[in-house]
Amino acid sequence: MAAKSRWKILSKALKEKTVSDEYTTKRSFQSYNILMTEKLDEDDLGCWHTVSLPHSHRNKKKSNIETIVNNESQIIENRTETPCNKRTLESDIENGCEPNESENLESPSSRSRNETVSVLIRLLKPSVNITQLMGFNNTGNVCVWPSEECLALYLATLYQPGSFTGRVLEVGGGQTCLAGLIFASLHPQSRVVLTDGNEDSVANLKAICAKNSELSVESGLYRWTQETNAEVSPEQYDIILCADCLFFDEGREQLITSMNKLTKKGRKVFVMAPERAGTMRKFISLAKKYFSIEMKEDYDPEVTRKHAALLSDPTYDPDIHFPKLVIMTKTST
């Protein structure tokens, strides 16, 4: 039955060049719904949205952080944990903490960074054609995956806003590279490069960069399975970001080799991904050749809370739905 349904979708896609909601399989778990979103206008390719950090991540009330930035953009932190605030707009109102008008969602060009951290993204309309089916991995055009959401949330509380001035590269970021985009919004003096290996994703990233023109972001096609990538500078980066790119056995070693080549010694790679039948463990085992590894499951209190609540849901499978954080520090020369 499942195979018959897949062929029906494929047949429809080849004939009509699109896949309607009638035939697409709805994923039972799509997001932890912690980031705040507002739907804006549509165009021929998709729908634009404003995505904002929840209140506790915006104003750094989660922890007191002392940050030292040396001339190579290395960050040293001292944290003192304080109680977290509620994260959603609805819960703020319920607790008598209705936000000010200045905190409402608005376009990045008109907001104050100290009050709201928000970016504009475009989610592409679902469509399938023969080029996509036979071409480079198209999973990044399906949706914003939970790993991307969780990585964005973690990065929001990692450094004091505005303190990071180094170079950042996101690889395999799909149609939005949301984690890298939000990092650029938090750190306007940084230089952030957003990449994916799919041409449609990269075309969308270029449009997103144009919409968020006040940010220091650029985009390009990057495939770690290729020896050369003309659109991405081969120079080394202070931070590399990677969300949910570990599930293919093919290309795993090339991904690690690329990360090693592109990361400055002593700097970080932040990987967010679910276990996915042992694929994360295989990645970590290979990465130990070049990096020291730290893995975290409790990296954000709201993600932890929602994950615990979902464990009783039979449609929620932690092995494929719950992203874990891998912090890799380059040790090789």
State the DSSP code for 309: H
What average pLDDT does this structure show over 145-163? 92
The pLDDT, as a whole number, for residue 227 is: 87
Please, which pLDDT band fits residue 7 given cuts at 50, 70 and 90? very low
Q: For position 91, what pLDDT does the model report?
A: 32
pLDDT of residue 94: 34
Three-class DSSP category at 222: coil
Average pLDDT over residues 103-126: 60
Model confidence at 300: pLDDT above 50: yes
Which pTM was predicted? 0.75
pLDDT at 278 over 50: yes
Give me 274's structure tokens: 């679910």
**Which residue(s) pair with 65 in the sheet?**
79
Q: Which fold has domain 31-330?
A: Rossmann fold (3.40.50)
pLDDT of residue 55: 79
Separation between Cα atoms, residue 145 and residue 141, nearest integer Å: 10
Instruction: Output the pLDDT for position 30.
Output: 73
| Between residues 215 and 143, the one the model is more confident about | 215
- Asked whether residue 287 carries a pLDDT value surpassing 70, the answer given is yes
Amino acid letter, 1: M
Tell me which residue of 8, 223, 15, 248 sits closest to 130, measured CA to CA.
Answer: 15
Q: CA distances (Å), 67 to each of 57, 159, 201, 329, in order?
A: 16, 7, 35, 19
SS3 call for 238: strand
Cα separation of 184 and 114, whole Å? 14
Per-residue pLDDT band for 249 (boundaries 50, 70, 90) equals confident
Query: Would you place residue 65 in the very low, low, confident or very high pLDDT band (cuts 50, 70, 90)?
Result: very low
Q: What is the mean pLDDT of residues 101-124?
A: 56
Backbone angles phi, psi at 110, to 5 degrees: -115, 5
Given a cut of 50, whether residue 173 has pLDDT beyond it is: yes
Phi, psi angles (nearest 5°) of residue 220: -170, 165
β pairing state of 291-296 and 46-52: unpaired
Residue-averaged pLDDT of the chain? 77
**What's the CA gap between 126 and 22, in Å, rounded?**
12
The single-letter DSSP state of residue 315 is: T
Residue 329: its pLDDT value, please?
98
Contact 165, 73 (CB under 8 A): yes
pLDDT for res 128: 52
Q: Which residue has the higher pLDDT, 9 or 205?
A: 205
55 sits in the region (left: phi over 0; alpha: psi -120 to 50; else beta) called alpha
**Lowest-confidence pick of 123-127, 128-132, 291-295:** 128-132
Cα 295 to the center of its chain, rounded Å: 17
Per-residue pLDDT reduced to its tens digit, 187-210: 999 999 999 999 999 999 999 999
Q: pLDDT at position 58, please?
A: 60
User: Residues 6 or more apart from 143 whose CB is under 8 A from it?
Assistant: 27, 30, 123
pLDDT score of 144: 67
Q: What percent of the chain has pLDDT over 90?
A: 59
E strands present in the chain: 36-42, 46-52, 63-69, 75-81, 118-124, 167-171, 191-196, 217-221, 237-243, 263-273, 291-296, 324-330
Give Dmax (Cα) for the chain.
Answer: 60
Q: Which amino acid is residue 67, in one-letter code? A: T
Tokens representing 287?
A: 């990465």
- d(Cα 115, Cα 102) in Å, to the nearest integer? 7
* Confidence at residue 29, expressed as pLDDT on a 0 to 100 scale: 64
Q: Identify the pLDDT of residue 47.
A: 94
Mean pLDDT of 243-256: 92
Write the CB contacts of 218 (distance below 8 Å, at least 6 apart in sequence).
191, 192, 193, 194, 209
Domain coordinates in residue numbering, the chain:
1-26, 31-330
The predicted pLDDT at position 143 comes to 52
pLDDT of residue 328: 98
In this predicted structure, what is the pLDDT of residue 333?
77
